[in-house]
Amino acid sequence: MPSFSGTARLLPSPLESQPYSLPREGLIARPRLLRDLDSHASRNLTLLSAPCGYGKTSLLATWRAKAAPEAVAWLTLEPADGNEARFWGQVADAVGRVRPSAGRRAAALLRARGAATDAALHDLLADLTSAAPLAIVLDDLHVIDDAECFALLDYAIEHLPPGVRIIAATRADPPLPLGRFRARGLLGEIRARDLAFTADEARQILVQAEGVELADEEVGILVERTEGWPVAVYLTALWLRDQDDPRLLLGELAAGRRYLGEYLTDEIMASLDRRTRTFLVRSSVLSYLSPSLCDAVLGRDDSAEMLRELSSSNLLITRLERDGDWFKVHGLFRELLRLELERDENCGVVELHRCAADWLAQHGFLVGAVAHAVDAGEHEQAAAIISDAWEELLDRGDGETLLRLVEYLPLDVLLAHPELAAGSVFATYIARRPLHERLHWLAITARSRRESPQAWSPRAAIVASLAQGIGVD
């Protein structure tokens, strides 16, 4: 396997680095659910399964804050973690952050080119044997769709050492044999019906978070109309705090003249001043926000001030680290903002994506840069970003990321960039992909030589020749 001397400096992207940040605690403690989490301590898997906005992450953050620091290993998953080696490498790193003596060997194995993931998993489980109790939290498990990840997760759940448990938060049930786990007493479950606010919890949110006081009957109306959906209760509280007569709104909710979707899209947005609304709507193209990124993409110089104001106003935007520069908008609120952006024909969404791609590429954020370039329809820009980075990706043994990135590119662009097709042959070898995938990329490389000879540099020819050598190895 040759070594490639790439010149790109790949810094961790927000997608890659944020799993190391811990979300803040919920606004209320919810002791009944904390007791449920504790009562499942003997279960190998505790599953929190509910749609967006049910407070899964906040509940787990509150629970974690009450535990000993070394008792909880936290991992917030991202789509970039969607291959088995990266997934289990992230798990091993999360364990190593709270148990320095555990996970090191597994993490090293998973970083080694061509290492077997199942062997690394066995090492990780062995490191946890006879250790103090440990909960491994997998937040946002729904972003993972790799079958091999779940096959190994199934094995891990079945073979966890005593005292070790996995807690997974997800928007949909994962492809795991939950029925079998349930029958064997391995599964604890907390679902939407459990996470829905009771009247007492809704009252706490109204009073503690926003200073809104309502009669019991009015709180009951709110819970009934929102079905206890926590984010809806909270958003309603945000609006009620600024109303002269909150009971008028509640009366309309009770009479069915106000619908939750209408409220979320109209009332919250209408309550924002123009400066704030413009910032939130235009920045909704970004998964994560930082002052310098927002300034560059939005063409302004006050993003640091805006982010501080929004974070302190409880408007569903949170700082990812206590003193850090990265922020994240709540998923549901961001979806609403994106809908607002798409309704504006003059919003310049393509230019927003293009600027985001430029900034992220300049700062070494590879995954985000390519994604935004593609969203802007700039496939050549995406190819150029990958071309600057593919050699370093292969040098560090990250074939999976390269394969995921080249999938963004249409065939005509790949034919014009033969080094990417040839590099993908090596990526399939590193990632231990099936032979037919390697042959697929060899065929694209050969077709490029026939149809796009002008794109072939001496460097591309050398890489293609080396790729041919491992094509059927």
pLDDT at 242: 67
Domain that holds residue 136: 14-195
Q: Which two three-digit tokens encode residue 185? A: 């007493």
Query: Is residue 352 one of the residues assigned to a domain?
Result: no
The pLDDT of residue 260 = 58
Same domain, 191 and 249: no
Beta strands in 226-359 (DSSP E): 317-319, 327-329
Write out residues in the chain with pLDDT < 70, as ranges.
1-26, 111-115, 131, 209-210, 242-268, 313-315, 321-323, 471-473
Residue 350 within a domain: no
Same-domain pairing of 121 and 240: no
> How many angstroms separate the CA atoms of 168 and 121, rounded?
18
DSSP conformational letter for 267: I
Q: Are residues 309 and 230 in the same domain?
A: no
In this prediction, residue 344 carries a pLDDT of 82
Domain termination residue (choose one: 222, 237, 270): 270
Condensed to tens digits (0 to 9), the pLDDT of residues 157-172 reads: 999 999 999 999 999 9
CA angle 426, 430, 436 (to 5 degrees): 65
Contact 379, 385 (CB under 8 A): no
Please report whether residue 377 resides in a domain: yes
Please name which of 189, 257, 203 lies closest in space to residue 225, comparing C-alpha atoms: 257
For residue 394, give both structure tokens.
Answer: 């292969």
State the distance between the two ends of the chain, measured CA to CA, in whole angstroms. Answer: 11
Given a contact cutoff of 8 angstroms between Cβ atoms, the answer to whether 48 and 160 are in contact is no
In a domain, 5, yes or no: no
Closest to 201 (Cα-Cα) out of 27, 388, 349, 326:
27
The model's pLDDT over 252-297, given as tens digits with 9 standing for 90+, comes to 665 554 455 555 556 667 778 899 999 999 999 999 999 999 999 9
Number of domains in the chain: 4
Q: Which two tokens stand for residue 385?
A: 């970003």
- Stretch (H or E) spanning 45: strand 45-49
Strand 317-319 to strand 327-329: parallel, antiparallel, or no bridges (unpaired)?
A: antiparallel
Q: Which of 138, 169, 195 is the last residue of a domain?
A: 195
Report which secondary-structure segment, H or E, holds 123: helix 117-128
Same domain, 172 and 236: no
Q: How much is the pTM?
A: 0.72
What is the structure's pLDDT at 337?
Answer: 87
What amino acid is encoded at 411 in this protein?
Answer: L
* Position 332 in a domain: yes
pLDDT of residue 199: 94
What pLDDT, on a 0 to 100 scale, did the predictor assign at position 57? 92
**353 belongs to a structural domain:** no
Q: Do 176 and 293 lie in a common domain?
A: no
Q: Which pLDDT does position 257 carry in this prediction?
A: 42
173 contact partners, CB below 8 Å, separation of at least 6: 47, 49
Cα torsion 289, 294, 296, 299 to 10°: value is 160
Closest Cα to residue 258, out of 286, 225, 228?
225
